[in-house]
A and B are shown apart, each in its own frame.
Chain A
Amino acid sequence: MTDRIGIIVNSNSHIDYVCQLASPFEREQRPAPDAYAFGAFVAIDLPQQPAADLAEDPPCLIGVIYNTLLVNPNFTNLGPRLTSQTEQAVFSPDLIDETAMLVGILALGWQDDAGPQQGTPRLAAEVNASVRRLTDEEVRQFHRDPRDNLTLRYAAALLALNNPLVPALLLEIIDRLGSLFPHEKAILQVMRDNVAWKSIVQPAG
């Protein structure tokens, strides 16, 4: 088991990255499905500043997985095939390689020498940058401001994206934070109700 999830292969905007999960054929194992589930927090490596000495914590973007896409070139080739699936793995390995699982990541902040920060990051990740999941402790750190209060600065930016997946994403995040910050449940509940009302009750009404 590893915390590494995959690598950045594309981006749609300054904060919206596409990560390709390590394929089952790579030698290292795929992470547990939980690691790249909807709402999971991840870190994307940032290029090192040339002058910087090798800090113990290299700078990274911190983001959340908000989307998943399966890529399967076979999907449209539904004609008869001479080889069976297992034979195909032997005879045509590149084809297998072309089926992939992609996850979309929204960058919610970053981490540098000054510690974790929420907000729109200044720096961008590069293609092939490594993506790994955050530990619970790291998630907790990311949601604490310098005065040790729970903070959720990125919520407004997320909501502003107008992505239909965002409300569900926020609810997921808030629930996760609720278990990480048991003392701040009341505040989170106000925010959760607010989002839930707008995304669940109002549209149905």
Chain B
Amino acid sequence: MVLPKTENEKLKTAVGTVKGPGETLHEYTFIAPDPERQLKHGEFVYYTAPVDGSQRQILGRITARAAVKLFPDTFMANPAVPPQTVAAMLGYESEATELFELTVTVLGYYNDLLQDFTNPRVPPQGGASIYIAENDTLTDLLSRGRRGQLGSAHIGDLLSRDPVAVPVALDVRGFTSTHLAIIASTGSGKSYLAGVLLEELLMPYNRASVLVIDPHGEYDTLQQVQNLESFRDSGYSPRVRIFRPQDLRVRISSLTLPDLRYLLTNLSEKMHYQLGRAFRYAQRTWGEDKYTLEQFYMAVREVGDSTQGEDESNDDDPTTGALIWRLSAALGGSGIFHDFENIELDELFQPGMCTLVQLNEVEQRQQQVIVAALLRRVYQARIDTEKGKLQREDRNHLPFPVFCLLEEAHNFAPANADAVSSDVLKTILSEGRKFGVGVGLISQRPGRLDGDVLSQCMTQCIMRITNPIDQNRIAESVESVGRDMLKELPALSKGQVIVSGASVNTPLMLRVRTRRTEHGGEDINAPAEWHQWFEHEQPAQAAANALPAEKELERDEDGVLWA
């Protein structure tokens, strides 16, 4: 009796034969019949070659697959007649009807010293056997992090293998210091992946301090980590803190002049000038970050055009009046901009805590100002703490690195447009690693995201992208993803991701793991809710409308109709 081959025996038989070197130095091609269709695009294969006296597996990734032998089209003229039977009639009865030429990009052998792949720089011998890399080997070699260990984030498993066969863990150190981008069309699973990442960051082996800018308020469900046993470890349990829009506070005196200018749109030249003078006056007179909105009005009047005479009320000056009116419209009525209160950094940041700043229902310009103000404070606090300017008892003392995740990042660093948040984001992206401020950007429109911002994110998670403009932007800004992988972008399914850059050893196509907490960003199920309405709402309404009250029209003596 022939026993079916075990998975490992299967992997030990050669699948192909090297044909020769490829177009570039680090490519080669091999020929394989591949009857079982194992040699998928992105699959890892190896040949063995002597390196420093011992046989090593030289790993590579399949980047192209072309048929070298196919039935002629005319053999397929009749769907009821398989081309094999036509070929058999003509005397070709072999089972081996197909043959493929596969291009492999060489990664090399894993160099334990360098903790990276080393390319042997010699193409394999023609005729050498090619094997499929074993699951265990790949698990060991592909991910920087070790699943469940300090500094690892297990986000999924290798797409070309069976589910769970090759788990992949990112190196948390990589993306928290040199930043991360999650890019994909809407509905491809960006927020889901971000949720997985956040879960990993809150695990006992990471205990990160994370802030999430959540413009849609879709990360609430992350709170479940507080009740899940798997997130606990002797004395540790993670916290998730939510700031809803009504809980947000930004002290007015913490806004910078550009912030103010940004909030007050369409100012005239004169108003701009006066605003600048008032701002400097306020800072000079009461000190940085130590005045209320009323005091600021005072400053505006103080610096206002006093050619009108000695009259006490400078309100008559149209510029002063208009400026104060603008200020009160933008800041006065807002529950967020406040005279005294500001969210303290230690409320926002703590190791083992994820803070969700929900910005739904907040107007976009205000969102940008809030994010800019927040990031600026964090960054400054980290610089001052690192440089020893702040001590433990100081208010903004922040003695640990932090990671900030921004949803809808294209709103905070748009391409071809100004946003107050762009500058601070760019500063953090280029300098943040020195002070332990890491940023993760999530966007469905890389084409609308500032190109510099995108190219500063050294770890990229790219999911399905269909828009060609967005694909081009990625090709331009993301060097580490090979062209062969970019071609896959439109073909990826929901929950599949290409990860490349600083947190993995080589670009990988992954299947994102299932979340431990629920996913919050579900779309509204309109048909179900309409249905619901007929079951519950309509009877109630019908009852309420049962007594139609004829409303008397009331007019006053002038004949004006009153509501």
5 more contacts with CB within 8 A, not counting A186-B78, A187-B89, A190-B78, are A151-B88, A152-B89, A186-B80, A190-B86, A191-B90
Given the interface pairs A186-B80, A187-B85, the reply to whether A153 lies near B91 with Cβ below 8 Å is yes
Give every chain B residue within 8 A of A153 (Cβ-Cβ). Answer: 90-91
29 contacts between A and B (CB under 8 A): A118-B91, A149-B89, A151-B88, A152-B89, A152-B90, A152-B91, A153-B90, A153-B91, A156-B90, A156-B91, A186-B81, A187-B81, A187-B85, A187-B86, A187-B89, A189-B78, A190-B74, A190-B77, A190-B81, A190-B86, A191-B86, A191-B90, A193-B77, A194-B72, A194-B74, A194-B75, A194-B77, A197-B74, A198-B74
Residues of A within 8 A of B (CB): 118, 149-153, 155-156, 186-187, 189-191, 193-194, 197-198
State the CA gap A106–B88 with chains docked (Å).
22
Q: How far is the CB of A51 from chain B (nearest CB, A)?
A: 31
Which A residues are CB-close (under 8 A) to B88? 149, 151
Distance, CA A151 to CA B91, complexed state (A) = 7
Number of A-B contacts (CB under 8 A): 42
Q: Which residues of A contact B86 (CB under 8 A)?
A: 187, 190-191
In the assembled complex, the CB of B79 is this many whole angstroms from the nearest CB of chain A, namely: 10
Which B residues lie at the A interface, using CB under 8 A? 72, 74-75, 77-78, 80-81, 85-86, 88-91
> What 4 pairs between A and B have smallest CB-CB spacing?
A153-B91, A194-B74, A190-B77, A152-B89
Closest chain-A Cβ to B419's Cβ sits at a distance in Å of 60
A120 CB → nearest B CB, Å? 12
**Closest chain B residue to A195 by CB distance?**
B74
B94 to A: closest C-beta gap in Å: 13
Report the Cα distance A159→B181, complex, angstroms: 60
Question: Chain A residues with Cβ under 8 A from B72's Cβ?
Answer: 194
Q: Which residues of A contact B89 (CB under 8 A)?
A: 149-152, 187, 191
Q: Once the chains are docked, how many angstroms separate the CA of A152 from the CA of B86?
A: 9
- Give Cα A155–Cα B90 distance, bound, in whole angstroms: 7
CA A187 to CA B83, docked complex, whole Å: 9
* A149 CA to B74 CA, complexed, in Å: 21
- Give the CA-CA distance A154 to B80 in the complex, in Å: 24
Min CB distance, A155 to chain B, in Å? Answer: 5
**A198 vs B77: C-alpha distance when bound (angstroms):** 14
**Closest beta carbon of chain B to A170's beta carbon, Å:** 11
B86 to chain A, nearest CB (A): 5
Which residues on the B side are within 8 Å of A191 (C-beta)? 86, 89-90
Query: Which B residues touch A155, using CB under 8 A?
Result: 90
Instruction: Look across to chain A and name the residue whose beta carbon is closest to the beta carbon of B93.
Output: A145
Residues of B within 8 A of A194 (CB): 72, 74-75, 77
Chain A residues near B81: list those with CB within 8 A: 186-187, 189-190
In the bound complex, how far is the Cα of B88 from the Cα of A152, in angstroms? 9
Q: Which of A118, A155, A186 has the most CB of B within 10 A?
A: A186
**How many Å lie between the Cα of A186 and that of B85 in the bound state?**
11
- Chain A contacts of B80 at CB under 8 A? 186
Q: Taking the nearest CB of chain A, how far is it from the CB of B89, in angstroms? A: 5
A186 to B81, CA, bound (A): 7
Q: Tell me, in angstroms, the Cα distance from A187 to B356 when the chains sit together.
A: 67
Contacts of B90 on A, CB cut-off 8 Å?
A: 152-153, 155-156, 191
- Say how far B92's CB is from chain A's closest CB, in angstroms: 9
